[in-house]
Every structure is written in structure tokens, then in C-alpha cells.
Amino acid sequence: MPLVLVLHGYGAAAQILDYFGMEALAEARGFLVSHPTGTTDAEGKPFWSAWQVGSGSSVDDSSYLRGVIEEIARACAVNRQRIYLTGHSAGGAMCYRMAGDHADLLAGIAPYAGCMELDPDLRRPSEPVNVLHIHGTADEVVPYAGRIGEATRGWPLASVRNWAAYNGCERPVSDPPPVLTWTWACLGSTPRCCVTPPALPVARSSSGRSMGECMGRFSRGNEALGVFESGG
């Protein structure tokens, strides 16, 4: 069976299942879902050590999460060609780190309101990884346009451009608001970049929709999650 790890945002471990609505989607679509919890900081809030530079943490969450995946694969009938990560905010950033560190293990990632470092050399994967990046243009915590002076933490367009380059995409990344239509001609027959249906608005955190509903809408449209469901 396919396996999806759902990674919480900073301090939001208890809310992640309701927020994503992933359990119902897993039951309906027939895949395994796991929602690990990060290390608790001095304020009692769980976090992920997602950024290689500037995080201030020595916790090796990258190895920890790979270990979680390997343990689940030993205990359950996991299709090792269909292992995916999704996550919100800091969890989305951790998705990018995992894809950079463990491209051999992951079929794809779907970060939601999370970004990678701006320096493309900090997160260069060993092989292409499918990416679906979802981000609200009204996000005030992880701004769509980024923040001036944050040299190590990226923003959506820069993150997607980095991965387009990693994955061998030839066309430039464009962003005509208010609807994202990021599409590229990539090496090979399988699209390996963020693709959102041209008729579907950007998923916003203030929309009231669960992540599972957003993922389900993308999947039913067979234009975005198709890159994941292809197994590729």
C-alpha cells in the first residue's frame, strides 16, 4: 500500500489530523497514513529541525523520519515505490529537507505553506522527486513573497524554482495570480514538478477547507496529484 507521512507545523501536533483530514482520505483511497511528532522545545511545543542553516537545533529529524518510514515498511505491506510526505508550515519545510536528504526513498512531497532554504546547494537531491507545493497568497506567517533579510529560509516561488532545476525542468516557472498554473517540460515522460489545475484557485489557510479536501480536489482533477499517483 502507499504510505503518506503527515508532518505538523510548529506546536500544532494535536491539531494536524483534523486540519489535514487525511484519515478519511486514506480510508477512501486505500493508503497508509502516519503522523509522527517532532521534538518538544523549551516552551513545550513540538518542532522539526527542517533548515540546515539557522535553525539553532542539533536534532536530526531527517534520520528520525527515515527511521519511522523504515519501521512502518517492516511492519506493514508498504509499496516502497509510493512513499510520500506532506506537511504544513514547518512540516512543509521538513518535507523539502527529507526530499533533499532521502530522494532515494520518496516518490513525492506535498508541502503546504512551507519552504526550503534559498541556497539551492543546501538541499540538492540525489535524484528527481515529485513536488506539489500549495501556498496561500494571504499567508502572513510564511509570506508568499518572502521576507527581506531571511537569507537561509526561502519562499514558495524560489522553492519551486529550485526543485524545477533539480528535476531537470526546462521551462521557466511562472506565477500569474490569482490562479497558479505552474507547468514545465521535464526530463522523461513523468511530470516531476509542482502542477496545479489552471481552473483551481490557490488553497488558502483561511478558506476553511481541510488539507484532505484540497488534496482530494486536486486528485479528482487528475492534474496535480496525478504526478504522485503515477508512482513516479
CATH number at residue 115: 3.40.50.1820
Confirm if 88 and 134 have CB atoms less than 8 A apart.
Answer: no
For residue 100, give the C-alpha cell: 533533499
Decide if pLDDT at 232 tops 90. no
Q: What is the model's pLDDT at position 125?
A: 92
Decide if pLDDT at 215 tops 60. no
CA dihedral over 100, 10, 181, 217, signed as positive or negative: positive
Element (H, E) at 26: helix 22-29
Question: Does residue 83 sit in helix, strand or coil?
Answer: strand
Q: What is the pLDDT of residues 49-64, one digit of tens each?
A: 887 554 557 889 999 9
| Reported confidence tier of residue 165, pLDDT bands at 50, 70, 90 | confident
| Reported confidence tier of residue 210, pLDDT bands at 50, 70, 90 | very low
Peptide bond into 178 cis (omega under 30): yes
Confirm if 203 and 209 have CB atoms less than 8 A apart.
Answer: yes
What are the percentages of helix, strand and coil residues in the chain, rounded to 5?
A: 30, 10, 55
* Number of structural domains the chain divides into: 1
Decide if pLDDT at 173 tops 70. yes
Q: What is the pLDDT of residues 103-118, one digit of tens each?
A: 999 999 999 888 888 7
d(CA 69, CA 72): 5
The boundaries of the domain holding residue 18 are: 3-229
Tell me if the pTM is above 0.85: no
